Amino acid sequence: MANSNGLFSVNDRTAEFDQNDAQQNKVMGILSYIGILVLIPIFAAKNSKFARFHANQGLVIAICEIASYIVLSLLLGRIPYVGGVFTFINYLLDVFLLVLSILGIVFSAKGQAKELPIVGKIKILK
């Protein structure tokens, strides 16, 4: 278990979840990190705490992707002379969010409930 104090730390909460639930809902956890497919576990696995844990993190990533695209590329990216800088920042953020998604997929496939760096502390779903 990693130290949960740092910004990029990974807090392992696997022990808080039923292992049967984790084994049965690995696929739902994986779907949580694939863009709009996050809606599948949100609606289809309402009673699975493991799936909801991963769906919450996947939803945070999806919202960040959409918001960064709108703000950095569509709005700020159109500013003459400096817009390209904001678009480039959006690309970098997209790469970071892709890495987080891959981490989430790996954790879910292993039946682990680990909070992702930065976004893991944000709670949208209950």
User: What digits encode the pLDDT tens for the residues 38-96?
Assistant: 999 999 999 999 999 999 999 999 999 999 999 998 899 889 988 989 999 999 999 99
pTM confidence score: 0.89
Q: Give the residue-averaged pLDDT of 85-109.
A: 95
Nearest to 109 by CA among 61, 50, 65, 69: 50
Instruction: Quote the domain boundaries for residue 65.
Output: 14-121
Domain-embedded: residue 35: yes
CB 53 within 8 A of CB 17: yes
Domain-embedded: residue 3: no
- CA-to-CA distance for 115 and 53, rounded, in angstroms? 9
59 phi-psi bin (left φ>0, alpha ψ -120 to 50, beta other): alpha
Is the pLDDT at 30 greater than 60, yes or no?
A: yes
Reduced to 3 states (helix: H, G, I; strand: E, B; else coil), residue 9 is coil
How many domains does one find in the chain?
1
Domain-embedded: residue 48: yes
